Amino acid sequence: MRRLIVILMLVPAAALAQPDFRAVLWPVLEKAQCRQCHNDNGVASTTRLQFPPEDAAPGDVHHFGRTLRRFVDAANPAQSPLVRKPTNRLSHAGGERIKQGSADEAALLDWARYLATQPADVDEKRGPAASGARPVLRRLTHSQYNHTVRDLLSDETRPADQFPKEDFVHGFTNQSEGQSISPLLAEAYARAAERLARNAFRHPARMLTCPPSDACRDRFIAEFGRRTFRRPLTTREAAAYSKLFQRESDFTKGAQLVVEAMLQSPNFLFHLEQGDYAIASRLSYFLWDTMPDAALLEAAAAGRLKTKEGVEAQARRMLAADRARASFDEFLAQWLRFDRLRGALRDRIRFPEYSAELVGAMIEETARLFRTLVWEKRNFMGFYNAGYTYLVPELARLYDLPAPTEPWALTTLPAESGRAGILGQATFLTLTSKPADTSPTERGLFIREHFLCQQVPPPPPGVNATLPTVTDEKPQTTRERLSIHLSNPACASCHSLVDPVGFGFEKFDAIGKHREAELVVIAPTADELKTRRKLKPTEYRLPIESKGYLRGLQKAEFASPRELGQVLAAEASCQKCVVKQLFRWASGRHEETADTPEIEAVYQRFRESQFQFQELIIAIATSDSFRGK
């Protein structure tokens, strides 16, 4: 045995066999869900460790394994952060992801020992080869459908409001992954096309501006087809629609049949345009949420959209139109999930002032702040820290502020109110609460996902999320009850990322009203009612501890929405999240690794403009991926 030890000591370190990282350790790290946090959109996005994407090429995975060398202590591999962090031997925000003493930890230690024998200067810049803009098949959203038939047929009936509900994917309804056509939606398209075509020809002269003839038929098909398909018809398409037109002996009926057929065509329902017409269509639905106008189609026909300068000229023209304001109102509504707020219920006894009208005022307050920042070309990070807002008397009462002199008057928010930006508005505070009380978990999760673009890992399977029952013997605040999440290792890995964020909002109740104490109501149990020991609920008003912190950011302790708003407004990951959210909206897909350089370039342009949202719009509209280059 002694001789064997001597022999091993004489073997050069570099001669140690290299473990197969991709076959042995990569599955261990995947099982531990490391990649879900350590990526550009993960809660550990600000750390030095960034994993390659799930579909990374084998060579890139192997290379990533080599880059872990910087987390290895060559003199003592077992004490390396690479080993101690995921096993929680060294404090880890994600908790114990790899069980101590397990075979998985042994595999991790083997890799650390191997890396300790390797040079420390591994090239860390290698990554997956950029694949360029990834084309995705997108269809019209319900909002785009309504706006398009309005502009195409002067029809204001909003038929898509009756279509099956759309799915939110990556925060929006226009993401290609969620845009399949179900049988129910196909049927809805058919019914809508029939009704729209019939309504359009109630006044035939509005649709047919020439005397019935072969020339008029061909002209109608070409002109209406160009607007409907957002490009000129091919000769074959024109001939097919001409044949369909002639199936009806009545000229008007023939035109109506063509309209009905075109409205059901994939060329109308999907974005199938090519070349400059594809750019025109993408630009129009991004900036106007509707079909291209005559000037944009003319620019496409003339080849003026082939350059960034040409696209920028059209984009700036379009941003000056009122349609752009309506389009970005829709972006805001989906980004902040106004649909959930409109459907939120509240306990009528606790919140008698809560109503659909109050919810409408909440949404309008948020929209007015957004519009001011965007269209008056202010620093958009004021969305998080603006010390002013726009109020009506109902909201002023809710905020315990003097009534405005006129509806939606500009109102300065007192510093002592703790309110600023979106985080201090009833929109956010109500949206992230429960019917009877606040939800620190939901508030923290919303901030992580919507304002930092971070994906919080799902809870481990089988975890009991039930909070302790509140009793008269031990009445507890929401914060005290949630402490079980932070003391249970199975829960703490996720809840430590969100609950402490929500705690900083606890002085604002489930509809955004300020409070100094939490009302805790304890109803009598069935046994208490039976024995008549307790016949009615008891109420406790418990003091609130509102200190919170945002783990992963520097100097991120706060005690009010205003304080956290200041942190987020200055935080690069929050600023970049605005870029990512608009990129997803504009592109109809989630960003990928290959998009990273372009998103970074757009972000830098956004920063240089002092965070003007219109300049962010232009930067995305003129980017290579948006233009399909």
Per-residue 3-state assignment (H helix, E strand, C coil) for 310-334: HHHHHHHHHHCCHHHHHHHHHHHHH
6 domain residue, yes or no: no
Question: Per the domain annotation, does 332 fall within a domain?
Answer: no
CA distance 196 to 217: 20
Residues 215, 71, single domain; the answer is no
Total number of domains in the chain: 4
Do 385 and 513 lie in a common domain?
yes
pLDDT along the chain (629 residues), means of 10: 35 52 83 81 74 78 81 82 84 80 84 78 52 70 98 97 95 92 95 98 94 97 98 97 97 98 97 95 98 98 97 98 96 98 95 97 98 98 98 97 95 97 98 96 96 84 71 90 75 82 97 96 88 90 94 89 97 97 96 91 98 98 92
Same domain, 313 and 343: no
**H-run or E-run covering 390:** strand 388-391
What pLDDT is recorded for position 460? Answer: 64
Q: How many Cβ atoms sit within 10 Å of the Cβ of residue 60?
A: 18
- Domain-embedded: residue 96: yes
User: Would residue 127 count as lying in a domain?
Assistant: no
Q: Is residue 129 part of a domain?
A: no
DSSP assignment string, 564-622: HHHHHHH-HHHHHHHHHHHHHHHHTS---GGGHHHHHHHHHHHHHTTSBHHHHHHHHHT
How high is the pLDDT of residue 97? Answer: 83
Same domain, 67 and 182: no
- Structural domain contains residue 483: yes
Q: Are 260 and 354 within one domain?
A: no
CB 312 within 8 A of CB 614: no
Q: Answer yes or no: is 618 within a domain.
A: yes
CA-CA distance, 478 to 542, in Å (whole number)?
A: 10
- Angstrom CA distances, 118 to 65, 98, 390, stand at 12, 24, 61
Tell me: do 482 and 350 sit in the same domain.
yes
Do 50 and 190 belong to one domain?
Answer: no
Are the beta carbons of 454 and 171 closer than 8 angstroms? no
Q: Indicate whether 60 and 179 sit together in one domain.
A: no
Q: Is residue 423 part of a domain?
A: yes
Q: What is the DSSP letter of 189?
A: H
Domain boundary among 533, 552, 570: 570
Residues 277, 420 within the same domain: no
Q: Which of 294, 322, 350 finishes a domain? A: 322
165 and 243 housed in the same domain = yes
- Shared domain for 506 and 603, answered yes or no, is no
Which domain range does residue 605 map to? 572-627
For residues 564 and 581, membership in a common domain is answered with no
Q: What is residue 489's predicted lDDT score, i.e. its pLDDT?
A: 67
